[in-house]
Amino acid sequence: MMDQTVILLVAALLLDLLAGDPKWMPHPVKGIGWFAHAAEYVLRSSCLSPYFAGILCTGTVVGGTAALAWLVVAAAEKMHPVAGMAVSLYLLYSMVAVKDLGDHAYAVMRALGNGDLCQARGNVSLMAGRDTDSLDHEGIALAAVESVAENTVDGVTAPLFYAVLFGPVGIAAYKAVNTLDSLFGHLDERYREFGRASAKLDDFANWLPARLTVPAIALASVMRKSRFFDIFKAVRAGARLHSSPNAGYPEAAFAGALGVTLGGKRSYDGAEHHSPLLGIRPAGCRAGTIGESVRLMRLTAYVFLAAEICLKLFAGQLF
Protein backbone atom coordinates (compact mmCIF):
# COMPACT_ATOMS: atom_id res chain seq x y z
CA MET A 1 0.00 0.00 0.00
CA MET A 2 1.33 3.47 -0.90
CA ASP A 3 2.23 5.73 2.00
CA GLN A 4 0.88 9.26 2.31
CA THR A 5 4.05 10.96 1.04
CA VAL A 6 3.99 9.03 -2.25
CA ILE A 7 0.32 9.83 -2.84
CA LEU A 8 0.91 13.50 -2.07
CA LEU A 9 3.96 13.60 -4.32
CA VAL A 10 2.02 12.16 -7.26
CA ALA A 11 -0.70 14.75 -6.61
CA ALA A 12 1.96 17.49 -6.36
CA LEU A 13 3.49 16.52 -9.71
CA LEU A 14 0.09 16.51 -11.38
CA LEU A 15 -0.72 19.88 -9.81
CA ASP A 16 2.59 21.30 -11.01
CA LEU A 17 1.93 20.08 -14.56
CA LEU A 18 -1.50 21.70 -14.52
CA ALA A 19 -0.81 24.97 -12.71
CA GLY A 20 2.95 25.49 -12.58
CA ASP A 21 4.59 27.59 -9.89
CA PRO A 22 2.04 29.07 -7.45
CA LYS A 23 2.92 32.72 -8.18
CA TRP A 24 -0.17 33.93 -6.31
CA MET A 25 1.07 32.42 -3.03
CA PRO A 26 4.24 32.93 -0.98
CA HIS A 27 6.89 30.70 -2.52
CA PRO A 28 9.10 28.77 -0.07
CA VAL A 29 12.18 29.15 -2.30
CA LYS A 30 11.89 32.95 -2.09
CA GLY A 31 11.80 32.59 1.69
CA ILE A 32 14.92 30.43 1.56
CA GLY A 33 16.64 33.10 -0.53
CA TRP A 34 15.73 35.81 1.98
CA PHE A 35 16.97 33.63 4.85
CA ALA A 36 20.25 32.97 3.02
CA HIS A 37 20.94 36.66 2.36
CA ALA A 38 20.09 37.54 5.96
CA ALA A 39 22.45 34.84 7.26
CA GLU A 40 25.17 36.05 4.87
CA TYR A 41 24.82 39.63 6.12
CA VAL A 42 25.08 38.59 9.77
CA LEU A 43 27.97 36.17 9.28
CA ARG A 44 30.01 38.49 7.06
CA SER A 45 29.75 41.06 9.84
CA SER A 46 31.38 38.63 12.26
CA CYS A 47 35.07 38.03 12.84
CA LEU A 48 34.96 34.69 11.01
CA SER A 49 36.92 34.16 7.82
CA PRO A 50 34.79 34.05 4.64
CA TYR A 51 35.37 30.30 4.36
CA PHE A 52 34.15 29.44 7.86
CA ALA A 53 31.35 32.02 7.64
CA GLY A 54 30.21 30.23 4.47
CA ILE A 55 30.24 26.86 6.22
CA LEU A 56 28.16 28.24 9.09
CA CYS A 57 25.78 29.98 6.67
CA THR A 58 25.25 26.74 4.75
CA GLY A 59 24.55 24.72 7.87
CA THR A 60 22.27 27.39 9.31
CA VAL A 61 20.16 27.81 6.17
CA VAL A 62 19.84 24.11 5.32
CA GLY A 63 19.24 23.03 8.91
CA GLY A 64 16.92 25.95 9.61
CA THR A 65 14.89 25.28 6.46
CA ALA A 66 14.50 21.59 7.30
CA ALA A 67 13.55 22.37 10.91
CA LEU A 68 11.00 24.99 9.84
CA ALA A 69 9.43 22.63 7.29
CA TRP A 70 9.12 19.93 9.96
CA LEU A 71 7.60 22.37 12.48
CA VAL A 72 5.07 23.77 9.99
CA VAL A 73 3.92 20.31 8.90
CA ALA A 74 3.79 19.05 12.51
CA ALA A 75 1.82 22.10 13.66
CA ALA A 76 -0.65 21.70 10.80
CA GLU A 77 -1.11 18.00 11.60
CA LYS A 78 -1.85 18.85 15.22
CA MET A 79 -4.59 21.19 14.07
CA HIS A 80 -6.11 18.55 11.77
CA PRO A 81 -4.76 15.68 9.63
CA VAL A 82 -6.19 17.30 6.52
CA ALA A 83 -4.34 20.53 7.32
CA GLY A 84 -1.11 18.56 7.62
CA MET A 85 -1.72 16.94 4.25
CA ALA A 86 -2.49 20.32 2.68
CA VAL A 87 0.72 21.89 3.97
CA SER A 88 2.76 18.86 2.89
CA LEU A 89 1.17 18.95 -0.56
CA TYR A 90 1.94 22.66 -0.93
CA LEU A 91 5.59 22.18 0.01
CA LEU A 92 5.98 19.31 -2.45
CA TYR A 93 4.08 21.09 -5.22
CA SER A 94 5.96 24.39 -4.91
CA MET A 95 9.41 22.77 -5.04
CA VAL A 96 9.06 20.69 -8.22
CA ALA A 97 9.50 22.76 -11.38
CA VAL A 98 8.46 20.62 -14.35
CA LYS A 99 5.94 23.01 -15.87
CA ASP A 100 7.88 26.16 -15.07
CA LEU A 101 11.04 24.80 -16.71
CA GLY A 102 9.06 23.78 -19.78
CA ASP A 103 7.28 27.15 -19.98
CA HIS A 104 10.58 29.05 -19.95
CA ALA A 105 11.97 26.82 -22.70
CA TYR A 106 8.83 27.08 -24.83
CA ALA A 107 8.98 30.88 -24.59
CA VAL A 108 12.46 30.72 -26.16
CA MET A 109 11.23 28.29 -28.81
CA ARG A 110 8.27 30.50 -29.78
CA ALA A 111 10.46 33.58 -30.11
CA LEU A 112 12.90 31.67 -32.33
CA GLY A 113 10.02 30.33 -34.38
CA ASN A 114 8.83 33.90 -34.93
CA GLY A 115 12.31 34.99 -35.95
CA ASP A 116 12.55 37.40 -32.99
CA LEU A 117 16.15 36.87 -31.88
CA CYS A 118 16.05 39.84 -29.51
CA GLN A 119 13.11 38.37 -27.59
CA ALA A 120 14.64 34.89 -27.73
CA ARG A 121 17.87 36.21 -26.21
CA GLY A 122 15.91 37.90 -23.43
CA ASN A 123 13.93 34.73 -22.75
CA VAL A 124 16.95 32.45 -22.69
CA SER A 125 18.79 34.83 -20.32
CA LEU A 126 16.17 33.85 -17.72
CA MET A 127 17.29 30.24 -18.04
CA ALA A 128 21.05 30.34 -18.63
CA GLY A 129 23.81 32.27 -16.85
CA ARG A 130 25.93 32.87 -19.97
CA ASP A 131 26.08 36.12 -21.94
CA THR A 132 23.24 36.07 -24.46
CA ASP A 133 23.50 39.43 -26.29
CA SER A 134 25.42 38.07 -29.28
CA LEU A 135 23.93 34.56 -29.53
CA ASP A 136 22.60 33.49 -32.94
CA HIS A 137 19.68 31.11 -33.54
CA GLU A 138 21.72 27.98 -32.85
CA GLY A 139 23.44 29.49 -29.83
CA ILE A 140 20.11 30.46 -28.27
CA ALA A 141 18.64 27.00 -28.89
CA LEU A 142 21.79 25.39 -27.50
CA ALA A 143 21.61 27.45 -24.30
CA ALA A 144 17.94 26.56 -23.82
CA VAL A 145 18.47 22.83 -24.39
CA GLU A 146 21.47 22.74 -22.05
CA SER A 147 19.45 24.54 -19.38
CA VAL A 148 16.56 22.08 -19.70
CA ALA A 149 19.00 19.16 -19.48
CA GLU A 150 20.87 20.43 -16.42
CA ASN A 151 17.71 21.55 -14.62
CA THR A 152 16.11 18.16 -15.20
CA VAL A 153 18.21 17.17 -12.18
CA ASP A 154 18.16 20.40 -10.14
CA GLY A 155 14.48 21.17 -10.66
CA VAL A 156 12.90 17.77 -11.24
CA THR A 157 14.58 14.47 -10.42
CA ALA A 158 16.68 15.51 -7.40
CA PRO A 159 13.68 17.12 -5.62
CA LEU A 160 11.63 13.99 -6.40
CA PHE A 161 14.48 11.81 -5.09
CA TYR A 162 14.66 13.54 -1.73
CA ALA A 163 10.89 13.90 -1.45
CA VAL A 164 10.32 10.16 -1.83
CA LEU A 165 13.05 9.40 0.71
CA PHE A 166 12.36 12.09 3.30
CA GLY A 167 9.03 13.71 2.46
CA PRO A 168 8.39 17.48 2.60
CA VAL A 169 11.32 18.01 4.97
CA GLY A 170 13.67 16.30 2.53
CA ILE A 171 12.58 18.32 -0.47
CA ALA A 172 12.76 21.56 1.54
CA ALA A 173 16.31 20.78 2.68
CA TYR A 174 17.35 19.94 -0.89
CA LYS A 175 15.91 23.18 -2.27
CA ALA A 176 17.81 25.07 0.43
CA VAL A 177 21.04 23.39 -0.75
CA ASN A 178 20.23 24.15 -4.38
CA THR A 179 19.26 27.76 -3.65
CA LEU A 180 22.46 28.37 -1.69
CA ASP A 181 24.50 27.09 -4.63
CA SER A 182 22.61 29.41 -7.00
CA LEU A 183 23.22 32.40 -4.73
CA PHE A 184 26.72 31.77 -3.42
CA GLY A 185 28.32 28.98 -5.46
CA HIS A 186 30.29 31.30 -7.73
CA LEU A 187 33.99 31.63 -8.47
CA ASP A 188 34.11 35.43 -8.35
CA GLU A 189 36.07 37.31 -5.70
CA ARG A 190 33.07 37.84 -3.41
CA TYR A 191 31.99 34.20 -3.19
CA ARG A 192 35.09 32.15 -3.99
CA GLU A 193 35.62 31.36 -0.28
CA PHE A 194 32.22 32.13 1.23
CA GLY A 195 30.33 30.02 -1.31
CA ARG A 196 32.68 27.05 -1.35
CA ALA A 197 30.71 25.04 1.23
CA SER A 198 27.43 25.72 -0.60
CA ALA A 199 28.88 24.56 -3.90
CA LYS A 200 30.42 21.41 -2.42
CA LEU A 201 27.21 20.47 -0.60
CA ASP A 202 25.21 20.96 -3.80
CA ASP A 203 27.67 18.71 -5.66
CA PHE A 204 27.25 16.06 -2.96
CA ALA A 205 23.43 16.32 -2.90
CA ASN A 206 23.17 15.99 -6.67
CA TRP A 207 25.79 13.25 -7.13
CA LEU A 208 23.43 10.27 -6.94
CA PRO A 209 20.31 11.89 -8.48
CA ALA A 210 22.35 13.05 -11.50
CA ARG A 211 23.54 9.54 -12.19
CA LEU A 212 20.16 7.92 -11.55
CA THR A 213 18.62 10.39 -13.98
CA VAL A 214 20.60 8.88 -16.87
CA PRO A 215 18.71 5.52 -16.94
CA ALA A 216 15.46 7.46 -16.45
CA ILE A 217 16.29 9.52 -19.55
CA ALA A 218 17.13 6.29 -21.38
CA LEU A 219 13.79 4.71 -20.45
CA ALA A 220 11.99 7.89 -21.45
CA SER A 221 13.81 7.82 -24.79
CA VAL A 222 12.59 4.26 -25.39
CA MET A 223 9.03 5.48 -24.89
CA ARG A 224 9.75 8.28 -27.37
CA LYS A 225 11.38 5.77 -29.77
CA SER A 226 14.61 7.79 -29.83
CA ARG A 227 18.32 6.97 -29.44
CA PHE A 228 18.57 4.63 -26.44
CA PHE A 229 22.15 3.39 -26.99
CA ASP A 230 23.45 6.82 -28.01
CA ILE A 231 22.61 8.05 -24.51
CA PHE A 232 25.02 5.69 -22.78
CA LYS A 233 27.68 6.20 -25.45
CA ALA A 234 27.46 9.98 -24.99
CA VAL A 235 27.55 9.74 -21.20
CA ARG A 236 30.51 7.37 -21.24
CA ALA A 237 32.40 9.56 -23.70
CA GLY A 238 31.82 12.99 -22.23
CA ALA A 239 30.01 13.25 -18.89
CA ARG A 240 33.20 13.29 -16.80
CA LEU A 241 34.78 15.97 -18.99
CA HIS A 242 32.29 18.58 -17.77
CA SER A 243 33.54 21.13 -15.25
CA SER A 244 30.66 20.16 -12.96
CA PRO A 245 30.85 16.71 -11.35
CA ASN A 246 27.13 16.25 -12.01
CA ALA A 247 25.84 18.43 -14.86
CA GLY A 248 27.68 16.44 -17.51
CA TYR A 249 25.51 13.38 -16.92
CA PRO A 250 22.08 14.79 -17.82
CA GLU A 251 23.55 17.03 -20.51
CA ALA A 252 25.39 14.17 -22.21
CA ALA A 253 22.32 11.95 -21.90
CA PHE A 254 20.12 14.62 -23.51
CA ALA A 255 22.68 15.13 -26.28
CA GLY A 256 22.62 11.41 -27.02
CA ALA A 257 18.83 11.17 -26.89
CA LEU A 258 18.26 14.24 -29.08
CA GLY A 259 21.03 13.42 -31.55
CA VAL A 260 22.82 16.76 -31.12
CA THR A 261 26.11 18.11 -29.79
CA LEU A 262 26.03 20.26 -26.65
CA GLY A 263 28.85 22.33 -25.19
CA GLY A 264 31.44 24.40 -27.01
CA LYS A 265 32.36 28.07 -26.79
CA ARG A 266 30.34 30.46 -24.61
CA SER A 267 30.88 33.73 -22.73
CA TYR A 268 30.34 34.56 -19.05
CA ASP A 269 30.62 38.22 -17.97
CA GLY A 270 32.58 38.97 -21.10
CA ALA A 271 35.11 36.18 -20.59
CA GLU A 272 35.23 33.35 -23.12
CA HIS A 273 34.99 29.77 -21.88
CA HIS A 274 35.13 26.43 -23.67
CA SER A 275 32.87 23.64 -22.47
CA PRO A 276 33.59 20.05 -23.60
CA LEU A 277 31.55 18.81 -26.52
CA LEU A 278 28.90 16.32 -25.41
CA GLY A 279 27.13 13.91 -27.72
CA ILE A 280 28.16 11.55 -30.48
CA ARG A 281 26.34 13.17 -33.41
CA PRO A 282 27.54 16.49 -34.87
CA ALA A 283 24.11 18.08 -35.31
CA GLY A 284 23.38 21.52 -33.83
CA CYS A 285 20.32 22.68 -31.91
CA ARG A 286 17.33 24.40 -33.49
CA ALA A 287 14.01 25.72 -32.18
CA GLY A 288 12.43 22.29 -32.60
CA THR A 289 15.17 20.73 -30.47
CA ILE A 290 13.98 22.83 -27.54
CA GLY A 291 10.50 21.33 -27.78
CA GLU A 292 11.97 17.83 -27.97
CA SER A 293 14.07 18.51 -24.86
CA VAL A 294 11.01 19.66 -22.90
CA ARG A 295 9.04 16.57 -23.85
CA LEU A 296 11.99 14.38 -22.87
CA MET A 297 12.33 16.22 -19.54
CA ARG A 298 8.66 15.72 -18.72
CA LEU A 299 8.69 12.06 -19.61
CA THR A 300 11.88 11.60 -17.58
CA ALA A 301 10.08 13.07 -14.56
CA TYR A 302 7.26 10.50 -14.87
CA VAL A 303 9.70 7.62 -15.33
CA PHE A 304 11.92 8.71 -12.44
CA LEU A 305 9.01 9.09 -10.01
CA ALA A 306 7.42 5.80 -11.11
CA ALA A 307 10.72 3.97 -10.62
CA GLU A 308 11.21 5.50 -7.18
CA ILE A 309 7.70 4.52 -6.11
CA CYS A 310 8.18 0.95 -7.33
CA LEU A 311 11.50 0.67 -5.50
CA LYS A 312 10.00 2.09 -2.31
CA LEU A 313 7.07 -0.30 -2.44
CA PHE A 314 9.41 -3.22 -3.12
CA ALA A 315 11.64 -2.22 -0.19
CA GLY A 316 8.54 -1.95 1.98
CA GLN A 317 7.61 -5.52 1.11
CA LEU A 318 11.11 -6.71 2.04
CA PHE A 319 11.39 -4.78 5.28
Which is nearest to 295 in space by CA: 244, 257, 242?
A: 257
Q: What is the pLDDT of residue 208?
A: 97
Q: What is the pLDDT of residue 272?
A: 77
Residue count of the chain: 319
Q: What is the pLDDT of residue 1?
A: 43
Q: What is the pLDDT of residue 34?
A: 95
Predicted confidence (pLDDT) per residue in 240-275, tens digit: 998 899 999 999 999 999 999 998 888 777 677 788
**pTM of the entire structure?**
0.92
Predicted confidence (pLDDT) per residue in 1-14, tens digit: 457 888 999 999 99
Alpha carbon 211 to its chain centroid, in Å, reads 13
Name every residue whose Cβ is closer than 8 Å to that of residue 186 and which is 6 or more positions away in sequence: 192, 195
pLDDT at 24 over 80: no
Alpha-carbon distance of 1 to 134, in angstroms, equals 54
